[in-house]
Amino acid sequence: MNKVSIALCTYNGAIFLPEQLKSFLQQTRPPDELIVCDDRSGDATIEIIEKFAEAAPFSVALHVNDENLGSTKNFEKAIALCTGELIFLSDQDDVWLPTKLEKFTAVFEQSKNVGMVFSDAELVGETLEPLGRRLWEFSFTPEDRRQAKRGKIFEVLLKKNVVTGATMAFRASFRAMFSPIPTDIPNTIHDAWIAFVIAANAEVKLIKECSILYRQHANQQLGIDWKYKEITRRERYVKSIGFQQKEQDRLIKLAEIFKSSPQFQKKVAEIRIDELIESFIEEGNQMIRHYETRKNLPSEKLKRISPIIKELSTGRYNRFSKGFISPVKDLLESW
């Protein structure tokens, strides 16, 4: 049986941390160790972990950083300290469902070729109230999932990251391959890089069921953007354009990395990565043009007709928005 490690990173997490720690105790397959790296919290986080460690039925090791590392380097440190064959990443503000460790380890034990497993997540509010939505509805489309099941998860990840660290686990044997984790790739933190490297070298399995309650709250570093209804349409397009421009920069940076990084040479030999990147960049350019057109529509509704018709003729409403629903909204809604 594989030894299981949980790598938990904390920073001023006292409000939600106790519920996460409790969910570790409720696992039907208990972890063998919990490694906690605290990034110099100023609240009661350390005291909560120390008290938890006294009663936990598994090993708990707390490491307080000498200086603030930031989330990516803090996870890199926590991962390096794990001694298990299987490593599960954990945020401080979620809640794991009881069968998470059991279901994930079962997938790894079915095949030694599986390097990483990740799942969907149930979105909940600050007090764990159900929001009626799942993470994959926003981050992992049905077409992406079909590609992933056909063994093309690397291509999906090249286009965009669909793996959230709180829902992933991987074999420790890949640790040397993805370390050190870079911090200079746009729109890329630890989870995206780890998933990307492992997908280039091993099988990746999906669990369609939710493994965690993914808490959405005002102070989290990343999460699903629930604020779209609170901003204007033009502000929304500005935000989307900015994100997509960073995605273009991400692809350009990855193209440079592929030329010299040995961990990607196996995948480079299998697929035409340069052509894929070029196609994704062109698609991104088209998306930016689409958002620019919608952002710059005139305030007067009659004057919107001509640019909307032109944009419809490009097919971009179908590719990047909701077909005919979006141009109708563009025509009729107030700005």
Mean pLDDT of 231-252: 93
Q: Round to whole Å and give the CA distance between 56 and 20.
A: 13
Arithmetic mean of pLDDT over the chain: 95
Is the confidence at residue 228, as pLDDT, over 50?
no
The three-state secondary structure class of 161 is: coil
Conformational region of residue 201, where left means phi above 0, alpha means psi within -120 to 50, and beta covers everything else: alpha
Conformational region of residue 40, where left means phi above 0, alpha means psi within -120 to 50, and beta covers everything else: left
Q: Round to whole Å and give the CA distance between 310 and 328.
A: 14
Q: Kindly report, residue by residue over 196-224, the tens digit of the pLDDT.
A: 999 999 999 999 999 999 999 876 555 56
Mean pLDDT of 149-164: 96
Q: Round to whole Å and give the CA distance between 205 and 168.
A: 10
pLDDT at 229: 53
- The answer for residues whose C-beta is within 8 angstroms of residue 248's C-beta and 6 or more apart is 281, 284, 285, 288
8 A C-beta contact, residue 250 and residue 185: yes
- The answer for residues whose C-beta is within 8 angstroms of residue 319's C-beta and 6 or more apart is 286, 287, 290
- Residue 84 DSSP one-character state: S
Q: Kindly report, residue by residue over 54-98, the tens digit of the pLDDT.
A: 999 999 999 999 999 999 999 999 999 999 999 999 999 999 999
* pTM of the full structure: 0.93
* Domains in the chain: ranges and CATH: 4-215 (3.90.550.10), 228-321 (no CATH)
Q: Kindly report, residue by residue over 294-334, the tens digit of the pLDDT.
A: 999 999 999 999 999 999 999 999 999 999 999 999 999 87
Instruction: Tell me the β-bridge partners of 114.
Output: 203
The three-state secondary structure class of 153 is: helix
Six-digit token string for 171 = 């074999």
The three-state secondary structure class of 7 is: strand
Task: Place 124 in a pLDDT band, splitting at 50, 70 and 90.
Answer: very high
**Inter-CA distances, 291 with 51, 231, 305, 334, Å:** 51, 15, 16, 17
Pairing between strand 86-90 and 4-10? parallel
Please report, in angstroms and rounded to a whole number, the separation of the first and last CA atoms in the chain: 59
